[in-house]
Amino acid sequence: MNSTGPNARNLLGIEDLDRAEIERLLDSGRHFKSVPPRKKLDALRGRSIVNLFFEPSTRTRTSFEIAAKRLGADTIGIQTLGSSLSKGESLVDTLNTLAAMNPDIIVMRHAASGAPHFLARHLSTPMINAGDGQHEHPTQALLDALTILEVKGTLQGLRVAIIGDIAHSRVARSNIHLLSKFGADIVACGPATSVSKNLTQLAPGVSLTNRMRDAVRDADVIMMLRVQLERQNVEVFPKSEYFRYFGLSLEHVALARPDAIVLHPGPINRGREISSEVADSQRSMILNQVENGVAIRMAVLEWVCSG
Amino acid sequence: MRLLIRNGRVVDPASGLDGGRDVLIDSDRIAAIEPQIECPDAEVIEADGMVVAPGFVDIHVHLREPGIEHAETIASGSRAAAAGGFTAVCCMPNTLPVNDSAQVTSFIVDRARRTAAVHVHPIGAISKGSQGERLADIGAMHAEGIVAISDDGIPVMNSGLMRRAMKYAASFGIPVIDHCEDLTLSSGGDIHEGIQSIRLGLGGIPSCSEDVMVARDIILAADTDSRVHIAHISTANSIAMVRHAKKLGLPVTAEVTPHHFALGDEEIPGYDSNYKMKPPLRTQLDIDAAIEGLVDGTIDCIATDHAPHTGHTKMQEFERCPFGITGLETALGLSLEALYHGGSIDLPHLVRLFSSAPSSCLDLDRGRLVVGGPADVTIFSTTREWTYDANQTLSKSKNSPFGGRKFRGGPVATIVSGRVVWTVDEGLRPQR
């Protein structure tokens, strides 16, 4: 169990979960997906959920909000703009304020790796990491797994190419942990400045390449990462030529297995990391991912509350 | 006022003494070291089963005064030093204001004389405000008592300035101490660049950021024939380069901190900022190299880099927390554990690493136990079992990763200028 807080069940990262816990969350996600969206559930009726977003986010925040509402919970959104956070309130003061409000669940996104872990150490409220710095984004990996499983039926033995700024990506890190736990072959691909050799020690089954063609050849799944120039302190690649070497085009997809699928956590940068033709093709699962995101977040919200 | 330390194992590496002796102190001097001394009017310290050593010297501490007194003062830091068995410390100049002038140096010397529990030697800045642009008033600070210059923590990137600083400091007979870190390579880093930085999604501080500066400093030491002391060396490559420099007879010395040979980056438990320091905790390979460097003399001495920070500065996002941990009170325990109990270093050598060796790095007239010499004495045990409680520290700050750690052996009594300032049983002793 991933409980770092005094007595709460948290979801801070995929690394801390075992296979059985992940399977349970995926099963539960499938269940929630099968429930018609208009049907209101009451699993979390009367519970209050604070969505604490220190970084701008539309999709993840909205997805968590919809998930919470469908489970009957009340949600309060706190974003950096328009709250005391932008006035320089420290994390420890936020912590004290939250402890006084006593919510039932905190969903947190923060630009600093480990920020939710810091809060979880001092709060007894269940905490869900909605993305921390360059560390993890566990619900993204869960919804990606659900999406892949819907098409492929298994993760075992699948060849999954993850392409982009791997070393600085929380999406990549969470996906590597999850896919590795289920026996996938993971090829991490990006410019050498983004693909640290230490990545092979992150989890079993990871190999590295700097060549797109090698990464996508015979792939069952191609997982593109968003180019996040706003999060680069220093330029790890010249953006002007990024698409030429690491952008996904139809020609790459042709090298993959005939039934290969393409994932992207969104929002996509057309023409930067993925061509419009690929994004709009039958192979693209991008909208399925969005739909599965709500189901997975329902599963996670229910799970942390039942701890 | 006379003090008799009886039945201890007296170890003085400088003279080669290692045997059962009594030590008689008269006022602030050692009066006699003999197999058996009778002195009925003396206060007696029974040191049966203990080691009686020259007072330990820590040539790398941050006392935070003037300017950052909420984290530490000369009074509190020197008391933590006494509790760690140290009788003298050298304090780094990164205070507010920076110790870059005669006025600040004399303020520190004066505060130390009035409030410190142990001897305090200030280290002056290399550059004005440690800005890395113009040389500080090195001669004037030397006249007030600095024993070395350093821009510790804000290292000199400009090699031209470093070269001039080395030459200029040599005209006053003092070495340059360099915190070797190429800031363009370490920028954005929080912990050692390796599997752990990848795992935690934290910025990496690569070993090469230290190595290129150690290489530069060795080349400049050769060029200027001036002394350079490498602070807190932490990488296998840097240690290998210092070894090579010494073979060439270059005036290069080096220190290592206890945490760099006691802990590795894979032992960092999640995002605990008490494990965040510069240089960062490195790998097992580097730990092995540090111990080997101590064994073969490549690394001259142990220094703590005691860097107190108040709780609230360590209570924030890991990447925003300042670098540095306290170290005075745990240095001996950690060294006994990693070096002596581990079997790689014998007792006289261990004592040397804490006393005569750091003294000679900075030409301090300390670290020996001789008749007629200053009565600075450290008494310690190699067997006493104890647990470090960071909440009971004499420092004003508690940022240690070693809270709760169990030790075998540690300081028992600290005697400064003939006065017992601290004992393990009584704690601090009130001074006249």
Give the whole-angstrom CA distance, residue B182 versus residue B193.
14
- Average pLDDT (A77-92) is 64
How many CB atoms sit inside 10 A of residue B173's CB? 9
Residues of B within 8 A of A170 (CB-CB) are: 201
- Tell me the one-letter amino acid at B14: A
Residue A79 scores a pLDDT above 80: no
The answer to whether the beta carbons of residues A10 and A306 sit under 8 Å apart is no
Among B361, B381, B407, where does a domain finish?
B361
B384 found inside a domain:
yes
Whether A176 and A262 map to the same domain: the answer is: yes
Q: Say what the ipTM of the complex is.
A: 0.93
Whether B61 and B48 map to the same domain: the answer is: no
Q: Which residue is catalytic, options B305, B363, B365, B425? A: B305
B366 found inside a domain:
no
* Three-state SS sequence of A251-270: HHHCCCCCCCEEECCCCCCE
Owning domain of residue A150: 138-286
Instruction: Give the number of domains in chain A.
Output: 2
Q: Which residue of B has its CA nearest to A136?
A: B201
Shortest CA gap B122–chain A (Å): 35
Active site residue B305: yes
Residues of A within 8 A of B188 (CB-CB) are: 233-234
Residue B202 near chain A (CB below 8 Å): yes
Read off the pLDDT band of A37 (50, 70, 90): confident
The answer to whether the beta carbons of residues B141 and B101 sit under 8 Å apart is yes
Each residue's pLDDT tens digit in chain B (432 positions)? Answer: 899 999 999 999 999 999 999 999 999 999 999 999 999 999 999 999 999 999 999 999 999 999 999 999 999 999 999 999 999 999 999 999 999 999 999 999 999 999 999 999 999 999 999 999 999 999 999 999 999 999 998 999 999 999 999 999 999 999 999 999 999 999 999 999 999 999 999 999 999 999 999 999 999 999 999 999 999 999 999 999 999 999 999 999 999 999 999 999 999 999 999 999 999 999 999 999 999 999 999 999 999 999 999 988 888 899 999 999 999 999 999 999 999 999 999 999 999 999 999 999 999 999 999 999 999 999 999 999 999 999 999 999 999 999 999 999 999 999 999 999 999 999 998 875
Whether A114 and A165 map to the same domain: the answer is: no
Whether A187 and A232 map to the same domain: the answer is: yes
Residue B201 near chain A (CB below 8 Å): yes
Give the whole-angstrom CA distance, residue B85 versus residue A154.
62
pLDDT recorded at residue A5: 45
Whole-structure pTM value:
0.95
Q: Which residue of B has its CA nearest to A170?
A: B201
For B236-269, give one letter per residue: b (16+ CB within 10 A) or e: bbbbbbbbebbeeebbbbbbbbbbbbbbbbeebe
Among B309, B328, B361, where does a domain finish?
B361
Residue A216 scores a pLDDT above 90: yes
Whether B340 and B379 map to the same domain: the answer is: no
Whether B22 and B97 map to the same domain: the answer is: no
Q: Is A133 helix (H, G, I), strand (E, B) or coil?
A: coil
pLDDT recorded at residue A228: 79
Whether A143 and A131 map to the same domain: the answer is: no
Nearest to A108 by CA among A84, A81, A89, A80: A80
Between chains, do A92 and B320 touch, taking CB under 8 Å as contact? no
Which two tokens mark A61?
């925040």
Whether A179 and A298 map to the same domain: the answer is: no
The CATH number assigned to the domain holding A89 equals: 3.40.50.1370
Q: What is the DSSP string of B74-95?
A: HHHHHHHHHHTTEEEEEE-S-S
- The minimal CB distance from A117 to the residues B187, B271, B316 is found for B271
Whether A169 and A89 map to the same domain: the answer is: no
Whether B424 and B315 map to the same domain: the answer is: no
B115 found inside a domain:
yes
B367 found inside a domain:
no
Whether B160 and B253 map to the same domain: the answer is: yes
Q: What is the pLDDT of residues B364-383, one digit of tens each?
A: 999 999 999 999 999 999 99
> Number of helices and strands (H, E) in chain A?
11, 9
Residues of B within 8 A of A91 (CB-CB) are: 315-317
Whether B285 and B345 map to the same domain: the answer is: yes
- Average pLDDT (A285-289) is 96
Shortest CA gap B203–chain A (Å): 9
B421 found inside a domain:
yes
Helix (H) / strand (E) containing B258: helix B258-262
Owning domain of residue B41: 2-52+373-428
Give the whole-angstrom CA distance, residue B410 versus residue B384.
7
Residues of B within 8 A of A167 (CB-CB) are: 198
The answer to whether the beta carbons of residues B420 and B414 sit under 8 Å apart is yes
Q: Mutating which of B200, B205, B315 best tests the A interface, going by the most A Cβ atoms within 10 A?
A: B200
pLDDT recorded at residue B85: 98
Whether A103 and A151 map to the same domain: the answer is: no
What Å distances lie between residue A226 and A170, A190, A246, A252, B361, CA to CA? 11, 12, 11, 17, 53
B368 found inside a domain:
no
Provide the residue count of chain B: 432
Between chains, do B201 and A134 touch, taking CB under 8 Å as contact? yes
Whether B283 and B322 map to the same domain: the answer is: yes
Between chains, do A201 and B188 touch, taking CB under 8 Å as contact? no
Between chains, do A135 and B201 touch, taking CB under 8 Å as contact? yes
The CATH number assigned to the domain holding B377 equals: 2.30.40.10
A107 found inside a domain:
yes
- The minimal CB distance from B198 to the residues A133, A198, A233 is found for A198
Among B361, B386, B413, where does a domain finish?
B361
A4 found inside a domain:
no
Residue B430 near chain A (CB below 8 Å): no
pLDDT recorded at residue A2: 40
* Three-state SS sequence of B367-423: CCCCCCCECCEEEEEEEEEEECCHHHCCCCCCCCCCCCCEEEEEEEEEEECCEEEEE
Segment 161-200 of chain A within 8 Å of chain B by CB: 167, 170, 173, 196, 198-199
Instruction: Give the number of domains in chain B.
Output: 2
Give the whole-angstrom CA distance, residue A79 versus residue A86.
9
Whether B293 and B379 map to the same domain: the answer is: no
The answer to whether the beta carbons of residues B53 and B8 sit under 8 Å apart is no
A2 found inside a domain:
no
Q: Which residue of A has its CA nearest to B200?
A: A135
Q: Which residue of A has its CA nearest to B192?
A: A198
Residue A99 near chain B (CB below 8 Å): no
Q: Count the alpha carbons within 13 Å of B160 in the hemisphere toward its beta carbon.
A: 2
A157 found inside a domain:
yes
B36 found inside a domain:
yes
Q: What is the pLDDT of residues B164-192, one digit of tens each?
A: 999 999 999 999 999 999 999 999 999 99
Segment 314-333 of chain B within 8 Å of chain A by CB: 315-320
A1 found inside a domain:
no
Whether A65 and A108 map to the same domain: the answer is: yes
B62 found inside a domain:
yes
Whether B68 and B43 map to the same domain: the answer is: no
pLDDT recorded at residue A101: 85
Residue A208 scores a pLDDT above 60: yes
pLDDT recorded at residue A99: 80
Q: Is A303 helix (H, G, I), strand (E, B) or coil?
A: helix
Shortest CA gap A228–chain B (Å): 15
Give the whole-angstrom CA distance, residue B77 versus residue B61.
9
Residues of A within 8 A of B270 (CB-CB) are: 4, 114, 117
Whether A280 and A146 map to the same domain: the answer is: yes
Whether B403 and B286 map to the same domain: the answer is: no
pLDDT recorded at residue B126: 98
Whether A144 and A258 map to the same domain: the answer is: yes
Read off the pLDDT band of A124 (50, 70, 90): confident
Q: Mutating which of A96, A198, A235 best tests the B interface, going by the most B Cβ atoms within 10 A?
A: A198
Whether A115 and A202 map to the same domain: the answer is: no
Q: Mutating which of A109, A136, A196, A228 best tests the B interface, going by the most B Cβ atoms within 10 A?
A: A196
Whether B79 and B43 map to the same domain: the answer is: no
Between chains, do A91 and B317 touch, taking CB under 8 Å as contact? yes
The CATH number assigned to the domain holding B74 equals: 3.20.20.140
Which two tokens mark A150?
């819907």
For chain A, give the mean pLDDT: 91
Give the whole-angstrom CA distance, residue A207 versus residue A218.
14
Whether B390 and B335 map to the same domain: the answer is: no
- The minimal CB distance from A92 to the residues B201, B312, B318 is found for B312
Q: Mutating which of B199, B273, B310, B313 best tests the A interface, going by the most A Cβ atoms within 10 A?
A: B199
Q: Which residue of B has its CA nearest to A14?
A: B199
Shortest CA gap B150–chain A (Å): 29
Whether A68 and A113 map to the same domain: the answer is: yes
Give pairs for B349-352: CB < 8 Å, separation 24+: B349/B13, B351/B11, B351/B12, B351/B13, B351/B51, B351/B53, B351/B54, B352/B13, B352/B14
Q: Is B361 helix (H, G, I), strand (E, B) or coil?
A: helix
